[in-house]
Amino acid sequence: MRHFVIVGVLVIAASFLAYTGLAAAHLMPVEASSQSLEIDWMWNLQLIGMSFLFSLIAVPILYSLIVFKLKKGDTTDAKHIEGNTPLEITWTVIPLFVVVIFAYLGAGNLARTVRSSPDAMVVKVTATQWSWKFSYPDYGVISTELYLPKGKPILFKMESTDVIHSFWVPEFRVKQDLVPGRVTELRITPILDGNYKVRCSELCGTGHYRMEQPVIVVDKAAFSAWVTDQQAKAAALVTPEAKGEALVAENGCAACHSINGAAGVGPTWFGVAGSQVALEGGTTVTADDAYLTESIKNPKAKVVKGFAPVMPQYSFTDEEIANLVAYIKTLK
Ligand code: CUA
């Protein structure tokens, strides 16, 4: 009996130490959304459970190793035990209850995490190999940076133009896949202003690792100022070249095409207009308007020598393509 009391006390002490240590390690980033509070509450509960279970196993093993060590010269047989029905029922029923309680708490937690709010602001998220685009239908703003007003529930409506991507801002905790051909939803309410990053957490090709863009949470006044500023910038775009340049920024073309001659996943745009382009298969083509237009509309029609046919199929209008071509022609 004395051994049980000692082990019991040691288990409690070890659980406390294990939990304190894990909590002090700050395993999670800051809590920047109301959803993160829910998730972390559940996570904390699991840390307590894990610390206790770890101690419940490790302490008796270590205690037995030390206290019941075989004495030198002792060749007697150990005591034979044939099983203990009440003990087996106990260690089956208690964990069963614990698992059911965790399932109940987890279900409630999940329900609060995905709960909809009637006054949510919609932000459309479009993922493409390998960039994010954010559009704000209420304001007619399109951006490569995700600006969010603090305290406002946000409903992300997310689409992919090519393969499966996954929207993940660690500080918001929740995460959602973007699947081609359907619109997936994710709800977050930012509660802490700051600069974060959205990352893609689904392996989506060679550029997956650099599919990350800024997320900026600001107060409501600063958000309104940003919207006004973005709207003014969009209204100031009058020439086709300027509109083309804005499209390039919105669609993350720079992830693959440089504008200064530097190497990339795709051919550089610097000096391409009017030049002779060597193609796979040994032929050469003059990069006139028709070639540039075709290369945007149907990227796999003519593949430039030395590059893989990996450019995604974008759905630009003819006018947008003309603007893009006009912009590319300025790069020389
Ligand atoms: Cu998109 Cu990984």
Q: What is the pLDDT of residues 181-213, one digit of tens each?
A: 999 999 999 999 999 999 999 999 888 998 999
Query: Is 83 a member of any domain?
Result: no
Q: How far is the CA of 201 from the centre of ligand 1 (A)?
A: 6
Tell me: do 186 and 221 sit in the same domain: yes
Instruction: Identify whether residues 292 and 319 lie together within a single domain.
Output: yes
In a shared domain, residues 271 and 322 = yes
Give the separation between CA 142 and CA 124, rounded to whole angstroms: 9
Rounded percentage of the chain residues whose pLDDT exceeds 90 = 52
Judgement on whether residues 200 and 245 belong to the same structural domain of the protein: no
Residues 145 and 222 in one domain: yes
Q: 70 has which bridge partners?
A: none
Give how many domains the chain has, as a whole number.
3
Confidence of residue 310 (pLDDT cuts 50, 70, 90): confident
Ligand 1 binding pocket, CB closer than 6 Å: 127, 130, 165, 200, 202-204, 208, 211
pTM over 0.75: no
CB 171 within 8 A of CB 181: no
Q: Which atom of ligand 1 is nearest to the CA of 208?
A: 2
Distance 102 CA to ligand 1 centre (A): 32
Range of the domain at 227: 121-235
Which ligand 1 atom is the nearest neighbour of the CA of 200? Answer: 2
Q: Tell me, in angstroms, the distance from the centre of ligand 1 to residue 170's CA.
A: 15
The atom of ligand 1 lying closest to the CA of 166 is 1
Please identify, by atom number, the ligand 1 atom nearest to the C-alpha of residue 207. Answer: 2
Residues 262 and 226 in one domain: no
The mean pLDDT value for 163-185 works out to 94
Cα 200 to averaged position of ligand 1 atoms, centre (Å) = 4
Tell me whether residue 77 is in a domain. no
74 lies in some domain: no
Q: Residue 51 pLDDT more than 90?
A: yes
Confidence of residue 125 (pLDDT cuts 50, 70, 90): very high
Q: Please tell me whether residues 130 and 34 are part of one structural domain.
A: no
CATH value at residue 149: 2.60.40.420
Residue 238 has pLDDT above 80, yes or no: no
Pick the more confident residue, 150 or 315.
Answer: 150
- 157-187 as b/e: b if 16+ CB within 10 A: ebbbbbbebbbbbbbbbbebbbbeeeebebb
Q: Using N-to-C axis directions, what is the helix angle for 34-67 and 85-114, rounded to 10°?
A: 160
Q: What pLDDT does 196 receive? A: 95
233 Cα to the center of ligand 1, angstroms: 29
In this structure, the answer to whether residues 170 and 272 fall within a common structural domain is no
Last residue of a domain, which of 200, 235, 270?
A: 235
Kindly give the number of the ligand 1 atom that is closest to the alpha carbon of 127. 1
Q: Is residue 80 part of a domain?
A: no
Tell me the C-alpha distance between 154 and 148, whole Å: 8
Q: Which pLDDT band holds residue 283 (cuts at 50, 70, 90)?
A: confident
Residue nearest ligand 1's atom 1 by CA:
165
Q: Could you tell me if residue 92 is inside a domain?
A: yes
From ligand 1's centre to the CA of 210, what distance in Å? 8
Ligand 1 atom closest to the Cα of residue 129 is 1
Q: How far is the CA of 62 from the centre of ligand 1 (A)?
A: 46
Give 77-123 pLDDT, tens digit per residue.
878 888 889 999 999 999 999 999 999 999 999 999 888 888 899 99
Does 150 map to a domain? yes
CATH number at residue 288: 1.10.760.10
Q: Are 106 and 160 in a shared domain?
A: no
Q: Starting at the edge strand that comes first in sequence, how are the strands of the sheet with 121-128 ordered?
A: 141-143, 131-136, 121-128, 154-160, 184-188
Distance 158 CA to ligand 1 centre (A): 13
In a domain, residue 72? The reply is no
Place of tokens 């002490």: 13
Joined together, the tokens standing for residue 235 give 């209204």
- Among residues 205, 235, 265, the one where a domain terminates is 235
Please provide the average confidence, as pLDDT, over all residues in the chain: 90
Ligand 1 centroid to 202 CA: how many Å? 5
Which atom of ligand 1 is closest in space to residue 205's alpha carbon?
2
227 located within any domain: yes
165 and 269 share a domain?
no
Verify that 228 and 243 share a domain, yes or no.
Answer: no
Query: Do 47 and 12 lie in a common domain?
Result: yes
